[in-house]
Amino acid sequence: MAGQDRQTAVVDAVEKQLLIGGKWRSATEGKTFDVTDPATEKTLCSIADASTADGLAALEAAHAAQPSWAATAPRERGEILRRAYQLLVDRADDLALLMTLEMGKPLAEARGEVLYAAEFFRWFAEEAVRIDGGYATAPSGTGRFLVLRQPVGPCLLITPWNFPMAMGTRKMGPAIAAGCTMVIKPAEQTPLSMLALAGILEEAGLPDGVLNVVTTSDPGAVCEPILRDGRARKVSFTGSTPVGKILLQQSADKVLRTSMELGGNAPFLVFDDADIDAAIEGAMVAKTRNIGQACTAANRFYVQRGVAEEFARKLAERMGALKVGPGVEDGVAIGPLIDTDAIEKVGTLVSDAVSRGAKVLTGGAANEGAGHFYQPTVLTEVAPESRMASEEIFGPIAPISVFDTEDEAIAAANDTEFGLVSYLFTQDLNRSLRVTERLDTGMVGLNTGLVSNPAAPFGGVKQSGLGREGGRVGIEEFLETKYVAIAEP
């Protein structure tokens, strides 16, 4: 376990102020808010609490830096990202500890997130030099077409607390590669990872004003004026669907480009012909990663009747054996949920399911004492009208229902307004393809419980979002297309 001195040192090492135009400075009137460790409920530190005026100052800085940044050589933009990638890798242990302290996830997972976050910088360092265009003869044979790709312009990036670094680099990487400047607003509960990341980008040589960071306890007061101002050209948001809808409405006024990575309600389908042990491994990743607090978390398990009892029993054995405790302790697999609201919500969803007939195979309650700990829980016979069938659980709860036919499983999987990811376990090739094509989600995990990869296009359909992050398409979200009509030469 990391000692108290080292914990204090990693928190002390982070700037606690706003980054605006290359200067670290306090918020208007010197306001601050506290950052808390969810495992101990103790305050870690206080940081600057930006106002509307601070947000607009950050936008002004991003707007002022935009022309020179857009004119910077793509190779130079890529090299900055590459240096930042290396710094993240070199400092992964300290950054992981910082993340665990503010967010709660076990240290090994936090380290995994730092490396995953770094990979977005490496990937987009490589993409920066591959922005291309086109030249063509008009179909009539007279005249030519020239197509240019240019940066969208200043962007507002808003990130959630559950992956406090990776959700940032997944946006900042392509924005930097494309030549966009940005204002970033990290989640109130986990600003330290983003502040550390901003320090690393400074060190890597990112020019003043390209990245501006505003931490705030009043996100609406800071973000809405930026969206309505007219100088920002894009908003990229990762967070809940309700907040995404508010931002889409606010963006309509100035017709901003929008990228929305929103909530999920992932179905996890296990057919009789699946490799059950592989399905259990997949379920453990899809359910317990990030303490179940992932947009990609398996939210509903549908298991075919022939293997339902075996799957539930094995999953309950594995989940019931997980060590619950502060993420900084050795061997912990399930850290605290982010706050008391999260504990209450999970408790309410479990009680609701049980009141409708669900059986508890393991877990089913919060732990007593400090910290927001909820026991890994497996429920069977979960009724379709249970709240957890339609709401994001965001906790280590696995609700299992049984199905008989392929059509029944697909209908249940698609019966949600969300469409981020689904998981499918079967060894039948034809079934794999048939079911994959009919699942109404932006991503499918086929015999795997983990889909995230910086080199792949991440994103959802329906109310899970608009646009994709990562992969070859990730940079497109930060580029405009300009067509030049040329007279016959």
- The interface region with ligand NAP, picked from 77-85, 124-132, 236-244, 369-377 by CB under 6 A, is 236-244
Catalytic option among 60, 119, 261, 476: 261
Nearest to 164 by CA among 180, 185, 147: 185
Is 261 assigned a catalytic role? yes
Q: How far is the CB of 437 from ligand NAP (least distance, A)?
A: 22
206 binds ligand NAP (CB under 6 A): no
48 binds ligand NAP (CB under 6 A): no
| Residue 219 or 454 having the CB closest to ligand NAP | 219
Cα separation, 465 vs 453, in Å, equals: 18
- The interface region with ligand NAP, picked from 21-29, 63-71, 258-266, 427-435 by CB under 6 A, is 258-266
Residues 385-424 interacting with ligand NAP (rule: CB under 6 A): 392, 420
CA 245 to chain centre: 17
326 binds ligand NAP (CB under 6 A): no
Cα separation, 231 vs 272, in Å, equals: 55
Is 45 assigned a catalytic role? no
| Residue 407 or 417 having the CB closest to ligand NAP | 417
Cα separation, 173 vs 88, in Å, equals: 13
| Residue 17 or 159 having the CB closest to ligand NAP | 159
3-state SS, residue 360: strand
Q: How far is the CB of 247 from ligand NAP (least distance, A)?
A: 6
Cα separation, 458 vs 177, in Å, equals: 18
61 binds ligand NAP (CB under 6 A): no
DSSP state string for 254-310: TT-EEEEE----EEEEE-TTS-HHHHHHHHHHHHHGGGG-STTSEEEEEEEHHHHHH
- The interface region with ligand NAP, picked from 154-162, 281-289, 299-307, 369-377 by CB under 6 A, is 154-162
| Residue 100 or 265 having the CB closest to ligand NAP | 265
Q: 10 Å Cβ neighbour count for 489?
A: 5
Which amino acid appears at position 146 of this protein? L
- Angle at CA 154, nearest 5°, toward 115 and 464? 60
| Residue 100 or 452 having the CB closest to ligand NAP | 452
The answer to whether the CB of 463 falls within 8 A of the CB of 453 is: no
Q: How far is the CB of 421 from ligand NAP (least distance, A)?
A: 9
Q: Mask of contacts with ligand NAP, 276-295, x by CB under 6 A?
A: -------------------x
H or E element that contains 257: strand 257-261
Q: Helix 107-127 to helix 92-103 angle, to the nearest 10 degrees?
A: 120
164 binds ligand NAP (CB under 6 A): no
Q: 10 Å Cβ neighbour count for 362?
A: 19
3-state SS, residue 119: helix
- The interface region with ligand NAP, picked from 81-89, 133-141, 216-224, 324-332 by CB under 6 A, is 216-224
Residue 7 exposure: Cα atoms within 13 Å on the Cβ side: 17
- The interface region with ligand NAP, picked from 62-70, 92-100, 128-136, 257-265 by CB under 6 A, is 257-265
116 binds ligand NAP (CB under 6 A): no
Catalytic option among 223, 295, 469, 477: 295
Q: Which of 264, 335, 395, 419 binds ligand NAP (CB under 6 A)?
A: 264
The answer to whether the CB of 73 falls within 8 A of the CB of 128 is: no
Q: 10 Å Cβ neighbour count for 334?
A: 25
Q: How far is the CB of 76 from ligand NAP (least distance, A)?
A: 29
Q: 10 Å Cβ neighbour count for 76?
A: 12
Query: What's the Cα-to-Cα distance from 203 to each of 59, 85, 157, 365, rounded to whole Å?
Result: 22, 11, 21, 45
Which tokens sit at 237? Answer: 């948001």
- The interface region with ligand NAP, picked from 3-11, 238-246, 304-312, 407-415 by CB under 6 A, is 238-246
Cα separation, 172 vs 92, in Å, equals: 18
Q: Which of 58, 81, 114, 158 binds ligand NAP (CB under 6 A)?
A: 158
| Residue 401 or 452 having the CB closest to ligand NAP | 452
Q: How far is the CB of 15 from ligand NAP (least distance, A)?
A: 18
Question: Shortest Cβ contact with ligand NAP: which residue?
Answer: 239
Binding residue count for ligand NAP, defined by CB under 6 A:
28
Which tokens sit at 71? Answer: 């004119």
238 binds ligand NAP (CB under 6 A): yes
φ/ψ of 32, rounded to 5, equals -140, 165
Q: 10 Å Cβ neighbour count for 139?
A: 8
239 binds ligand NAP (CB under 6 A): yes
Q: Mask of contacts with ligand NAP, 355-384, x by CB under 6 A?
A: ------------------------------
Q: Which of 38, 154, 173, 263 binds ligand NAP (CB under 6 A)?
A: 263
Cα separation, 47 vs 303, in Å, equals: 47
The answer to whether the CB of 304 falls within 8 A of the CB of 427 is: no
Q: How far is the CB of 2 from ligand NAP (least distance, A)?
A: 25
Task: Give me the active site residues, please.
Answer: 261, 295
Binding site for ligand NAP (CB under 6 A): 158-163, 167, 185, 187-189, 219-220, 223, 238-240, 243, 246, 261-264, 295, 392, 420, 460, 465
